[in-house]
Amino acid sequence: MPNTTYTIAAIKQIIKADGNIVHDYTISALFTDSRRINNPAEGLFFALRGRRNGHEFVAEAYAAGVRNFVVGHGPEFNLPGANFLLVPDPLAAMQALAAYHRNRFNLQVIGITGSNGKTIVKEWLYQLLSADKNIVRNPKSYNSQIGVPLSVWQISERNELGIFEAGISTVNEMDRLEAMIKPEIGVLTHMGPAHDEGFESPKQKLLEKLKLFKSSKLLIHNYDQLLDFKNEITALETFTWSRKLREADLYVFSETVISKNYYLRARYQGKEIECLIPFTDQASVENAITCWAVMLAMGYSAVETDKRIERLTPVSMRLELKNGVNNCSVIDDSYNSDLQSLEIALNFLSQQNQHQKQTLILSDIYQSGLPQDVLYKQVAELVGTKKVDKFVGVGEALQAHQHYFDVAEQYFFKDTATLLQQLKSLAFKDETILIKGSRSFEFELVSRALAQKAHETIMEINLNSLLNNLNFYRAKLKPGVKVMAMVKAFSYGSGTFEVANMLQYNKVDYLAVAYIDEGVSLRQAGITLPIKVLNPEASAFDKLTENKLEPVIYSFGLLDDFVTYAIGKNIVNYPVHLKIDTGMHRLGFEGYEIETLCDMLETNRYLRVQSVFSHLAASEAPEHDEFTKKQIKRFEKAFKQIEATLGYEVIKHICNTSGISRWPQAHYDMVRLGIGLYGIDSSVSASETGLQPIASLKTSVAQVKKIGAGDTISYSRSGSLAKDGKIATVRIGYADGYLRAFGKGVGKMLVRGTVVPTVGNITMDMCMLDVSGLDVQEGDEVIIFDAEHRIEELAKQIGTIPYEILTNISQRVKRVYFYE
Ligand SMILES: *Cc1c(COP(=O)(O)O)cnc(C)c1O
């Protein structure tokens, strides 16, 4: 690894820890996640407190080969040969170590903060400056209290410039980040409403952000944004830009869109200068102006700056998981390549269990700042530590260093064109393929050749948001309360193994499906978590037991069927779940049946009761709270009786999503998280933020037509326009799950930023939108719902609930998964 190393004894001193050093070690890597460990022998694991206690992961990290730990408590660890450094706060210790490391180096550092655009500005400055300087920067958007120390830790002798972004969400966070970054040059990006909820006022938020620059020599910012805060700026010098005020250093006075570019003219040092930005959307333009200002402030000439900005390329931080040809899964990360993002992508690859075989297609890596032999040796080592069964290297550098690689099946090609010619001979089938390339290799061509062509209506699922939502609910639970994730009905329409892999990797305790077949699919996709089946059919008990699925027993009939089956198959102690009906009146044993049930369980050696549960009928509704309390009481009575009979403890659970939010006293041993996981919870008030919708449904315009005032539109001549206008026919209909009830203006979609109504009846595969007066082109993207245009609104339009909208979206609509 490129890092300067430290002895564990030196680290003990730097972070002022207690504890004995039993064996001397050299440390070059820091870990906070026991699942993401490379080079364990030189690693130091920080057991961070968080939503899950980092100490739970110490044993796992030890098993992975780590021998050095920073922990917040206790001598209870008895792991031979390992060093335990004891500190009051492991996160603070990691930050102190990072700050110490930072201070050893004399490199120039640019520090970036703001509400939006931090990562883009950081990546673009990297693109603009890496021709001249050896640069170290945060991987992806690692800008948090944990991400910044891990980023800063990468600084080595070789680096001439550091570009680090810092993100905060509430007060008193920036000082700790500032101590690690210590930027000489500060950059403030766009300030907007993001994270407002963490602060008393926008002013308080701004002042907190400005703390990053408290000892900077130069601050670069939008002049208008800090007009009222001039006295708060502590940097010695500033460089400002503005689109309104002439007194700014860089005054942008003219902006024109020229085909796909944005042409800017500005006044700078008394002269007129220009800049062509290869993007036209407002956010990109603002971020590019910020970069323009930074380049000028750093002394680059206007001409050179313009030349470089013109060549900026889009920054994509997300991985895309989609279906591929020949039953493959394709992870598309074809837009950038460096060691850190390769590691992140490989971790995502290793989360995937749906195919036995895992494949990496990798291009040469540019601008790593490392000599080639060092770089490719490290790449080969990294690939070697992951489960990669097939390796395809593309580029002359990889070809030249192929002797470093030792993968069971490996191929090298000199360029992308050669790979594409030979693609067939590589016989991709039943494998998960990670495609990771530097932009110039145009790996999007490889991705296009290997991914299944998507119908133009797609549902995008954001896996980061899924994880965020899981943690949102975990934070509401007392330690030790388990989480059962409800993945019935194709995970509420969001996918099967894709969602389950994520949940398994992030250690939920249980999954639940509605039918045996759903459970079988998860097992076939490599999911090993315990799986509960809510509605087990007697005809499929063989499949149930072969796949280690755990049935819910909700009636005497079902109990009888299953016990008879178990006797016939010589099965004993099979895990089952008992469902009690406390008022929902759907499935379950009623109160008066509990006694008989207990009699039947008392001597039953065929079953082992894993859990006892019930379901709340109206956990979200305050007007029914008295009823909910009754349900909870009945549940307590039932499980006490059952536990007393069984003589062992069982897992008890009653809360669904809104139960988790509204009934903390009823969490018991486990909660069943359903719709909240997918970002929807009517009982979370609008002021409580943190939940993120995970799905967006998008389609496109197939045709645009002029329509006269007298013309009619769609079947039964059901639509018309009030005056002459235009309609757009879009590629979604009721067969995709866009219900007929949305027709005749009831449903609304978003085209080019404008909300437009449907006209006429929805047809099977298509529907029409009134786009009169809008500049709409064939092929334009159309949004049916996303994180801003909420599914809750859609549900309201046709008098239903989000559950129904989500689960109705047909399988014909391809799901594409994103992970950052
Ligand atoms: C679907 C289901 C849940 C989850 O409900 P949400 O409201 O989506 O959280 C919980 N328990 C049972 C028995 C269910 O069928």
pLDDT > 90? residue 293? yes
pLDDT for the residue 482: 97
Nearest 5°: the CA angle 47, 51, 56 is 40
pLDDT for the residue 240: 97
> Residue 656 CA: which ligand 1 atom is closest?
9
pLDDT for the residue 779: 86
The better pLDDT of the pair 19, 633 is held by 633
pLDDT for the residue 784: 97
106-309 CATH, one of 3.20.20.70, 3.30.390.50, 1.10.3720.10, 3.40.1190.10: 3.40.1190.10
Q: What's the rounded mean pLDDT across residues 132-139?
A: 92
What percentage of the chain has pLDDT greater than the value 90? 82
> Residue 514 CA: which ligand 1 atom is closest?
15
* CB-based burial label for 557 (10 Å; 0-12, 13-18, 19+): exposed
pLDDT tens for residues 347-384?
999 999 999 999 999 999 987 778 899 999 999 999 99
460-678 CATH, one of 3.20.20.10, 3.40.640.10, 3.40.50.2000, 3.30.930.10: 3.20.20.10
> Residue 660 CA: which ligand 1 atom is closest?
9
> Residue 619 CA: which ligand 1 atom is closest?
7
Q: How confident is the model at residue 51 (pLDDT cuts 50, 70, 90)?
A: low
**Catalytic, out of 217, 633, 705, 715:** 715
Domain 6-96 has CATH 1.10.4160.10: no
> Residue 676 CA: which ligand 1 atom is closest?
9
pLDDT for the residue 454: 61
Instruction: Name every residue whose Cβ is closer than 8 Å to that of residue 501 and which is 6 or more positions away in sequence.
Output: 351, 352, 353, 354, 525, 526, 527
Ligand 1 pocket mutation pick from 656, 657, 667 by most atoms within 8 angstroms of CB: 656
pLDDT for the residue 501: 96
Residue 330 beta carbon below 6 angstroms from any ligand 1 atom: no
Q: What's the rounded mean pLDDT across residues 541-550?
A: 98
Compute the chain's Rg from CA coordinates.
29
Tell how far the Cα of 473 is from the centroid of ligand 1, in angstroms.
14
Tell how far the Cα of 358 is from the centroid of ligand 1, in angstroms.
34
Residue 657 beta carbon below 6 angstroms from any ligand 1 atom: yes
Ligand 1 pocket mutation pick from 615, 671, 673, 691 by most atoms within 8 angstroms of CB: 615
Mean pLDDT of the residues in the chain: 93
pLDDT for the residue 138: 93
CATH architecture of 695-819: Beta Barrel (2.40)
Q: How confident is the model at residue 259 (pLDDT cuts 50, 70, 90)?
A: confident
pLDDT for the residue 57: 83
pLDDT tens for residues 586-618?
999 999 999 999 999 998 999 999 999 999 999
Q: Taking the mean position of all CA atoms in its chain, how far away is CA 788?
A: 17
Ligand 1 pocket mutation pick from 469, 486, 586 by most atoms within 8 angstroms of CB: 486
* CA within 13 Å, CB half, 401: 20
Tell how far the Cα of 470 is from the centroid of ligand 1, in angstroms.
15
Residue 135 beta carbon below 6 angstroms from any ligand 1 atom: no
Q: What's the rounded mean pLDDT across residues 702-719?
A: 95
Tell how far the Cα of 658 is from the centroid of ligand 1, in angstroms.
10
Domain span(s) for CATH 3.20.20.10 in the chain: 460-678
pLDDT > 80? residue 332? yes
Query: Is position 488 annotated as part of the catalytic site?
Result: yes
pLDDT > 80? residue 322? yes
CATH architecture of 320-453: Alpha-Beta Complex (3.90)
pLDDT > 90? residue 16? yes
Going by alpha carbons, the residue nearest to atom 12 of ligand 1 is 615
Length of the chain: 820
pLDDT > 80? residue 75? no
Q: Per-residue b/e over 662-695, b at no fewer than 16 CB within 10 Å?
A: bbeebbbbbbbbbbbbbbbbebbeeeeeebbbbb
Q: Per-residue b/e over 83-122, b at no fewer than 16 CB within 10 Å?
A: bbbbbeebbebbbbbbbbbbeeeebebbbbbbbbbbbbbb
pLDDT > 70? residue 144? yes
Tell how far the Cα of 472 is from the centroid of ligand 1, in angstroms.
17
Residue 579 beta carbon below 6 angstroms from any ligand 1 atom: no
**Catalytic, out of 488, 579, 652, 698:** 488
Query: Is position 715 annotated as part of the catalytic site?
Result: yes
Q: What's the rounded mean pLDDT across residues 138-150?
A: 93
Q: How confident is the model at residue 1 (pLDDT cuts 50, 70, 90)?
A: very low
Q: How confident is the model at residue 2 (pLDDT cuts 50, 70, 90)?
A: very low
pLDDT tens for residues 415-434?
999 999 999 999 999 999 99
pLDDT for the residue 753: 85
pLDDT for the residue 434: 97
pLDDT > 90? residue 574? yes
Q: Tokens for 514? A: 């509605």
Tell how far the Cα of 662 is from the centroid of ligand 1, in angstroms.
15
Residue 615 beta carbon below 6 angstroms from any ligand 1 atom: yes
For the ranges 38-47, 197-206, 404-413, 811-820, the one whose mean pLDDT is highest:
404-413
What percentage of the chain has pLDDT greater than the value 70? 98
Q: How confident is the model at residue 411 (pLDDT cuts 50, 70, 90)?
A: very high
Going by alpha carbons, the residue nearest to atom 10 of ligand 1 is 656
pLDDT for the residue 79: 87
Tell how far the Cα of 681 is from the centroid of ligand 1, in angstroms.
12
Q: Tokens for 560? A: 């009888």
Tell how far the Cα of 487 is from the centroid of ligand 1, in angstroms.
9
Residue 672 beta carbon below 6 angstroms from any ligand 1 atom: yes
pLDDT for the residue 728: 97
pLDDT tens for residues 190-207?
998 777 778 888 899 999
Domain span(s) for CATH 3.90.190.20 in the chain: 320-453
Q: Is 586 known to sit in a ligand binding site?
A: yes
Question: 3-state DSSP call for residue 542?
Answer: helix
First-last CA distance in the chain: 24
Going by alpha carbons, the residue nearest to atom 4 of ligand 1 is 674
- Single pTM value for the model: 0.84
Residue 491 beta carbon below 6 angstroms from any ligand 1 atom: no
Q: What's the rounded mean pLDDT across residues 100-128?
A: 96
Q: Per-residue b/e over 558-588, b at no fewer than 16 CB within 10 Å?
A: bbebbbebbeeeeeeebebbbbbbbbeeebb
CA 776 vs CA 262, 459, 563, 756, 770: distances in Å: 20, 22, 63, 11, 11
Tell how far the Cα of 406 is from the centroid of ligand 1, in angstroms.
47
Strand partners, 108: 161
Q: Is 764 known to sit in a ligand binding site?
A: yes
Residue 656 beta carbon below 6 angstroms from any ligand 1 atom: yes
pLDDT for the residue 124: 96
CB 390 within 8 A of CB 361: no
Question: 3-state DSSP call for residue 785?
Answer: strand
Residue 486 beta carbon below 6 angstroms from any ligand 1 atom: yes
d(CA 576, CA 553): 7
Question: 3-state DSSP call for residue 251?
Answer: strand
d(CA 232, CA 235): 9
Residue 143 beta carbon below 6 angstroms from any ligand 1 atom: no
Question: 3-state DSSP call for residue 235?
Answer: coil
Q: How confident is the model at residue 123 (pLDDT cuts 50, 70, 90)?
A: very high
pLDDT > 90? residue 3? no
